[in-house]
Every structure is written in C-alpha cells, then in structure tokens.
Amino acid sequence: MKILAHSYVCPKGTFLNGKLVYDTAEEENPLKSAYQQLGVEYPKFYKMDVLSKMAFIGTEILLPFFPKDADLENDLQLIFANSSASLNTDNLFVESYEQLKTPSPSLFVYTLPNIVTGELCIRHKWYGENCFFVEETFNPLHFSEWSQIALNKGNNSCLCAWVEAKTNGEQECFLFLLTNSEDGGNSIERELSTLIKQYRNE
C-alpha cells in the first residue's frame, strides 16, 4: 500500500502534498475564497455544509493524482471519519425549529456525516463503496486497516479523509489517496501520523 497524494483544507489555507496552494489565512470566508481560487464552476458548493465544502475542495486538487488506468467509477472506495459526526449542522437544524420556528429541510439533509461522501460521489460519478466511521481522534492504524481490507476486497484505490468541523470553530479536512503497491507496506501508519502533525503544525 502507498500514498499517491494528500491534501489538507483548513481555515488558514489549502495544501496539496505538503505545499500551500490557496492562502486563505486573511480571508473573512476562507472556504469561499479557496473555492474561488480553485476556479471550478459547481454552484451546489454554496449549499453544502462545512464538511462537504472542505472535502470538495480537497478532492478537486487531488484529481490529477488518481490512477489513470483504473475503473474508479466502481473500484474506488471512500473511507471517511471524524469525531463529531454532523454535530455542527445538527445544532443549526435544532436552531431552525426552536428559534426560527420552521424545521429546515435543506439543513436536515446535512445532519448525517456520510452526506460528505455522497456529495463527492455525485460530483465525480463514483458508484463504489463508502463507509463513514465516528472515532475519538484521527487514528492512522485504523485507516491503514480499513484501506488494506478495502484493497484486498478488489478495490483499486481508497480515498480516505479525516474531515472535522467542531462546534468551537475548529475545522480540518485531511484527505489521502491510497493504492496497492509492492513496496512501502507497513509504513503507511507512520507516514499518516507524520503528515497530519506537519499539516497541523504540531
């Protein structure tokens, strides 16, 4: 197993393979700015929740690194995780019926964490397998286990993400693309934990 590419989206900027590509540190609305710098026309972006917006941007910039000869439509598995599920939108939905007195259908449809993977599948016409886990913290060992299992089942590659939007405003989306390889093997776990530390400046 090896990492083909990785990206990181957070309020201060969007990074691709460790390099800053869109600086949004000074922006009032960082995700809108990153989307505009990306230069892609996809009006549905504006309707998305924060999780989907981050994953959308982070995935668009990874596209050139997807395996060219693979049947991505069927054989790409999406494995996503975070710790707070859709908590941010959950609270907005509660606000819609408690304070604004009308439960908002367009908020309710985002009160599930796996809507993120649904949005990406719609955007890129991916019909393959999806799974969303809720975990206390980013766990590189689990991601490595899940991906290895997915690849052993016959999937060609895995798009994985730790995508988090906490109610205190902390937001991050760490995406990485994995595929089978002869070399590398057991180092994925270590690589992932180093990468996320670098992105988080820990």
Partner 1 sequence: MDKPIYIQTLSLVTPLGNSVDQHLDAFKNGVSGIKLVEKAGFQDTTIPLAIKSELTSDRYNTLLREALKKAQANLSTSGRTAVIVSSTKGNIDLLPGDTFAGTQPIIHEFFPKTEIFIISNACISGVIAINTAADYLLAGNYDQVIVIGIDAVSEFVSYGFQSLFALSNETCKPFDKSRNGTVLGEGCGIVLVSTQKPDGFAVLYKGGSSSNDANHISGPSRTGEGLVRSIEKTFKRSQVSVRDIDFISAHGTATIFNDEMESIAFGRTNLDRVPLNSMKGYFGHTLGAAGILETIMSIVSMEKSILFPNLGFKETGTSIPLNIIQRLESKELHTLLKTASGFGGGNASLILQKQP
Partner 2 sequence: MSDLKENLKAQIIEQLNLEDLTPADIQDDAPLFGDQGLGLDSIDALEFIVLLDSNYGIKIADPSEGKEIFHSVNTLADYISKHQ
Binding residues for partner 1 (CB under 8 A)? 74, 78, 83-85, 87, 90-91, 93-94, 97, 102-105, 108-115, 117-119, 121-122, 124-135, 142, 145, 148-149, 152-154, 167
Q: With CB cut-offs between 5 and 8 Å by kind, which of partner 1, partner 2, none does residue 43 bind? A: partner 2
Q: Kindly state the tokens that stand for 32.
A: 């809108």
- According to CB under 8 A, which one of 11, 13, 23, 32 is a site residue for partner 2? 32
3-state secondary structure of 162: strand
Minimum CB separation from partner 2 for residue 123, in Å? 11
**CA pair distance 76, 158, nearest whole angstrom:** 6
CA-CA distance, 194 to 202, in Å (whole number)?
10
Nearer to partner 2, 43 or 64 (CB): 43
Where does residue 13 rank: exposed (0-12), middle (13-18), buried (19+ CB within 10 A)? middle
Q: Of partner 2, partner 1, none, which one sits near residue 46, judging by CB under 5 to 8 A according to partner kind?
A: partner 2
Residues in contact with partner 2, shown as a per-residue x/- string from 38 to 67 under the rule CB under 8 A: ----xxxxxx--------------------
Select from partner 1, partner 2, none the partner in contact with residue 94, using the beta carbon and a kind-dependent cut-off of 5 to 8 Å: partner 1
**Chosen from partner 1, partner 2, none, partner binding at 74 (C-beta under 5 to 8 Å by type):** partner 1
Residue 38 binds which of partner 1, partner 2, none (CB < 5-8 A, kind-dependent): none
Q: Which of residues 88-127 bind partner 2 (CB under 8 A)?
A: 92, 102, 104-107, 109
Query: In 24-156, which ranges are E strands?
Result: 76-82, 130-134
The b-or-e profile of 145-178 (16+ CB within 10 A means b, else e) is ebbbebbeeebbbbbbbbbbbeeeeebbbbbbbb
DSSP 172: E
Question: CB of residue 104 vs partner 2: minimum separation in angstroms?
Answer: 7
What is the Cα–Cα distance from 139 to 47, expressed in whole angstroms? 30
